[in-house]
Each structure stands twice: as C-alpha cells, then as structure tokens.
Amino acid sequence: MIKKINVTLVLIAIIGSIYITITKDKSLLYVLKDMSIILTINALYIVKKIFKLNISDAIILIYILFIFNAHFLGVTINLYGKIYWFDKYTHFLSGIISSFGAIFILVKSKKNGNRRFDIFFIISVTLMVAALWEMFEFTSSCLFNVDPQRVKLTGVTDTMEDIIVAFLGSIIVSMMYYFEYKWNNNLLIKKFINNVN
C-alpha cells in the first residue's frame, strides 16, 4: 500500500510539472526549476540503489511527502507565493524530517544509545541541513539573479526565520525522543526506529 502511495505521488509530481512546463510560457530558469523535481523526488531511490541501503517504503514516503510539499506544491504550483506562511511551514517540516534523518543515521551506524549525544546530533544535523539550504538559496541568488531569500524585502530576517523554525522542529523531535526513552513509551520515535532496523 505504501509503495503504491509513493509511486502515485511521484507520478503526480512529475506529470504535473511536465504539464505546467508545457502549458506555461516560462523562461529556461523556470523550466529547469520545475523539471528538477524528476531528480529530487527520486533522489532517495537513487541513493538507495547506489549505496545498496535497506530503506523502508515508510521512510521513502516521508521523504516523498516532503519533496511533494516543498518542491511540487511550493515551487511548481507556487504556494510559496500564494500562501504567506507556506515557506515557514515547509522549513518547520524540514526540521522535523531532517531530525528523523539524523535518527536514521544514528540507528544505521549503531551509534544511538547516549541520549545526550543523540539529541545533540539530531539538532546539529537539522541546523546543518538548514544552513546548507540557505547557502544553496544564496548561491542561486548570485548565479541566477533571483531572490529566494527575499533579501531585498527582509534583509536577513527571512533566512534567520527559516533556520529558527527548522530548529524548533528539531527541538520537538528531540523532546519526543528523550521522553519516549525516559518514560519507556513506544510511540512515534521508537516505532520509526523499529522500522529502520
């Protein structure tokens, strides 16, 4: 069932992006931006195949849902421009998802167990991902003369707010992680870890 959902979302995003690219009069930059979803939404499948990783369909679904939300809905459908809070929502979601990515790394490397280190690692990975994304946006601004960080409008405020909401997402996941182990509950985090193993 999950595999079918994954395939359906991938097809909707790819076909939708192709349709929008064909039917809209856009510059080459917009065509590249819309069509790059073919690579981004399939990236985890590519990584899985190249590195021969055992990544469950549930984890792939989390990734695909994020890319569908951030890239297809946000960029291609342009919800970033139509809904004022959509950007912050997406960065908050990225903080949560990158935190689960950090937990995935800890479990796969068999390094999890020291709760203080685990929480430090989860938050650090999230902040690294958020910073790398903002560096990517800045590089895009310089290369293509666009303003995804809205520097002209907000200065550094938009960039800092993006990093802060991602950080808040990682704090929520870290607290869930800590308290599930402290109170010996088998909720979202432990179920995710059991799915990774």
Q: What is the pLDDT of residue 32?
A: 82
State pTM to two decimals. Answer: 0.84
Which alpha helices (H) appear in the chain, and where do they start and end? 2-23, 28-35, 37-40, 43-50, 57-67, 79-82, 86-108, 115-144, 151-154, 157-182, 188-196
pLDDT averaged over the chain? Answer: 89
Q: What is the pLDDT of residue 104?
A: 87
Q: What is the pLDDT of residue 83?
A: 95
Using a 10 angstrom Cβ sphere, with 0-12 exposed, 13-18 middle and 19 or more buried, the burial of residue 153 is: exposed
pLDDT band at 25; cut points 50, 70, 90 = low
Per residue in 44-71, pLDDT (tens digit) is 999 989 988 888 888 899 899 999 999 9
Q: Which long-range contacts (CB under 8 A, 24 or more apart) does 48-55 make?
A: 53/108
What six digits make up the tokens of 5? 């959902």
